[in-house]
Amino acid sequence: AQKITQTQPGMFVQEKEAVTLDCTYDTSDQSYGLFWYKQPSSGEMIFLIYQGSYDEQNATEGRYSLNFQKARKSANLVISASQLGDSAMYFCAMREGRASRDYKLSFGAGTTVTVRA
Which residues are at the interface with another protein (CB under 8 A)? 33, 35, 37, 42-47, 50, 52, 91, 93, 95, 97-110
How near is the Cβ of 76 to another protein at its closest, in Å? 19
How near is the Cβ of 59 to another protein at its closest, in Å? 10
Beta carbons within 10 angstroms of residue 21's beta carbon = 22
**Residue 28 vs 101, nearer CB to another protein:** 101
Chain-centroid distance of CA 23 in Å reads 6
**Residue 2 vs 69, nearer CB to another protein:** 2
Question: Over the Cα atoms of the chain, what is R_g?
Answer: 14
- Alpha-helix residue ranges (DSSP H) falling in 44-111: none
Distance CA 111, CA 95 (A): 19
**Residue 17 vs 102, nearer CB to another protein:** 102
How near is the Cβ of 69 to another protein at its closest, in Å? 19
Query: Looking at this protein, which amino acid is placed at residue 7?
Result: T
**Residue 62 vs 81, nearer CB to another protein:** 62
How near is the Cβ of 80 to another protein at its closest, in Å? 21
User: What contacts 11, CB < 8 A, 6 or more positions away?
Assistant: 19, 21, 111, 112, 113, 114
